[in-house]
Amino acid sequence: MTNPVSEFRLKRRVLFYETDLAGIVHFSCFFRYMEEAEHALWRSAGLSIAPKGTEIGFPRLAASFDYHRPLRFEDEFEVWIRVAAITSSTISYECELANADSTIATGSLKIACVSKRPHEPLRPIPIPAEIAGCFKVHRKEG
């Protein structure tokens, strides 16, 4: 097993299709950026959030964003995702989008570990140890 990870930084550039008629990134894209960074965090831990054939899943329980300034076509920015909390069956993240030392948006995401067996309803289950052990809560410096 690799060392547990607590954060990941993803570099991005705004694509044209992500903008609206005002020329700024549509608010819904921020949630995609956060999810893209989350999946990169999992890959950095040596995992996939949705491996083929698995009987567990990680649906979203809550997601939010506060917008501080707009992003426009071809702007470069970074998406930071950090593990904020881990319980027996959930992982919570904090997310920050930034550009040149300026915060663009801040958000959060909470996911749950569930059993997703065919012909059965989703039900919460503990995060398997081999997954939970790959993550740790991010400790802020200072």
**pLDDT tens digit sequence for 51-109:** 999 999 999 999 999 999 999 999 999 999 999 999 999 999 999 999 988 999 999 99
Nearest-5° angle of CA 130, CA 134, CA 135? 130
State the pTM of this model: 0.93
- Homologous superfamily of the 7-132 domain (CATH): Hotdog Thioesterase (3.10.129.10)
3-state secondary structure labels for all residues of 22-61: CCEECHHHHHHHHHHHHHHHHHHCCCCCCCCCCCEECCEE
Residues 88, 109 contacting (CB under 8 angstroms) = no
Locate the domains of the chain by residue range.
7-132
| Res 122: pLDDT | 93
